[in-house]
Structure 1
């Protein structure tokens, strides 16, 4: 696929997902960590304007001088910006203005590609497309968080239940003790946090080729999993008690039957389907209850070629830290990953919400251990 075709396909996919929303949905922000759909549409466009068009297209005219302040996410190098928690306060600019902004920037990026075929430009556009694919997944999970906290539990799309997957395999894989190489070592795109191929020593371990199911987790709940402090790390136990947690996110008990919210509406929990929407502390407590543990991110990567993966982001026992010889790029691009290497845990794999062609076994996703609005799950080792 040509770079122009790739650009058009990815940009169109974002708008396509939003086409099932009503205009009232575009500006809603339910929580500080979940951005409104309108903001995602604008921010991903701002990225191409700021990093591609301004430096590369001669005489480029900015669409709106205010948009840099409104739609910059966290790039301190590029100036001031609104607080993340205030992204839902913007009834203006209106959604139609943002869609015009996207069309304007897209037209100019395609124009630029007709004039400039340099590797530097193409590499930055590919980075922008991968950045947009990350936001496509965030769009799905942020919209679900918005609808899942609406008392009417709106249906995004009647056939859009992303929680229906079952495990394909039920076996385990044994990995022998040894020294293994990890990190990205190919020629295609990867993020800077995957670079720095290096060797790690791993002890013998056995890893499940399946993920924990809803039925498995209900057994944990019914056994008092949320009331036994011995199973929990201290911060997790404080979170459980402070927030009265007794089930995964989006679960509701109705007439003694567990239901969960899906983007296809509220439905009875499928006990045989793969568990989703749990945080690191819940995953760790479940592993403790089973007498097993979570894999490290290196164990996961070493075993990945033998595993069925890609349905849930899988919590690992590894803190998000730099690989040996990690280097941040100069300028704003250098803020992309490195500055978040603190108080985060690594998740591996991909999820049902991950965009096509946006996964690989070296991908290092990372979230705060308390967060659970992503499609997260559990794989166990012993």
Structure 2
């Protein structure tokens, strides 16, 4: 696909995700980690304006002098920015002006892409498109957090449940001990944290072909799993008690039956569907209760060709750290991944909220261990 066609496809997809919204849905930010849809729309646009158009399109004039401050996320190289927790306070500019901003930048990008560009610039645009695809997933998960904490559980889209998937495989994959190659070879697009390809030695292990289901997790709840301190890591036990966590995010016990909020509204929990919205702490505690463990990210990558994946982000037992030979790029692009390699755990695979063509076996997602709001699940190892 030509780069200009791909640009239009990705940009249109972001706006398609917003079509079911009412104007009031674009603004709220109930917690600092969940950004409003309006901010996602503007930030992904700012990336192309700031990183590409200002430096590469002759005569380009920025859309608004305040937008860099409002919609920069975490790039210290570029300058001051609004606090992350204040993104929901940005009632102005309005939603219509943000869409005007997107159209203005898209016009500039269309002009730029109508001419021959360098390989270096093409790669930067490719990064911008993958960055926007990341925000498409975040837009969905952040919006779900906002709607899921609305007391009337409003429907985003009746056809957009995303929690109805069932496992299609069962049993275990047995992997032999040996040396395995891990990481991306750089032959196609990848994020810098997937580099460099390197060898790891693995002991023999078994990994489940299926993900943990809601019914299996309900067994853990019914066995007082949230009261069994012996199943939990110390930080997880503290998190559980401080926040009074007793179930996965979006679960509610109504008339003795478990229900969960989906983007299609409140539904009764399907015990055979794949579990979602659990933290690393919960995933580890469940695995411990089962007498098993979570796979490392290297075990996951070495074995993923032998089972289906892509329905849930899968917590691994690996801390988010650089691969051998990892180098932080110069400038703002260097702030993309490397500086977050502290106090976070790696998730592998993809989820039902991940954009098409945005997953690969070397992809390294990463979040703090207490986060539940992504479509995260559990695959056991032993």
TM range (shorter): over 0.9
Aligned to 2:345: 345
Task: Give the alignment of 1:80-229 within 5 angstroms.
Answer: 80-229=80-229
What residue is the counterpart of 2:319 in the other structure?
A: 319
Q: CA deviation at 1:187?
A: 1.7
Unaligned runs of 5+ in 1: none
- TM-score, with structure 2 as normaliser: 0.99
Corresponding pairs, count: 382
CA distance in 2, matches of 1:112, 1:7: 12
Distance 1:29 1:307 in 2: 37
**CA distance, structure 1, for counterparts of residue 186 and residue 171 of structure 2:** 30
CA offsets 1:254-312 (integer angstroms, 9 cap, x no match):
00000000000000000000000000000000000000000000000000111110000
Trace 1:1-382 onto structure 2 (pairs within 5 A).
Answer: 1-382=1-382
Q: Which moved more, 1:111-120 or 1:89-98?
A: 111-120
Structure 1 residues 197-235: Cα deviation after superposition (integer angstroms, max 9, x where no partner): 111000000000000000000000000100010000001
User: In 2, distance between residues paired with 1:240 and 1:101?
Assistant: 42
Matches of 1:115 and 1:359, distance apart in 2 = 30
Partners of 2:207 and 2:185 in 1: CA distance: 24
Secondary structure at the counterpart of residue 216 of structure 2 = helix
Rounded Cα–Cα distance in structure 2 between residues aligned with 1:114 and 1:355: 26
CA distance in 2 between counterparts of 1:112 and 1:94 reads: 27
Question: Given that residues 173 and 206 in structure 2 are in contact (C-alpha distance below 8 angstroms), is that contact kept between their aligned partners in structure 1?
Answer: yes
| Structure 1: 4+ residue segments shifted above 4 A | none
- In 1, Cα distance between the equivalents of 2:171 and 2:253? 32
SS in 2 for 1:200: strand
Structure-2 separation of matches of 1:196 and 1:132: 24
Q: What displacement does 1:115 show?
A: 2.4
Q: Secondary structure at the match of 1:305?
A: helix
Report the Cα distance in structure 2 between the residues aligned to 1:55 and 1:311, rounded to whole angstroms: 39
Q: Would the aligned equivalents of 2:144 and 2:263 in 1 still touch at CA under 8 Å?
A: yes
CA-based RMSD:
0.6
- Which residues of structure 2 form unaligned runs of 5+? none
**CA distance in 2: counterparts of 1:187 and 1:197, whole angstroms:** 11
By how many angstroms is 1:117 displaced? 2.2
| Distance across 1 between alignment mates of 2:219 and 2:356 | 34
Q: Deviations over 1:29-67 (max 9, x none)?
A: 010000000000000000000011011001110000100
Give 1:116 shift: 3.3
**How far apart, in 1, do the equivalents of 2:172 and 2:119 lie?**
43
Deviation at 1:120, TM superposition (A): 1.3
Cα distance in 1 for residues equivalent to 2:233 and 2:294? 13
- Structure 2 Cα separation of the partners of residues 244 and 329 of structure 1: 41
SS of 2:226's partner is: coil
For 1:188 and 1:344, locate their aligned partners in 2 and report how far apart those are by CA, in whole Å: 26
Measure how far apart 1:186 and its partner are: 4.6
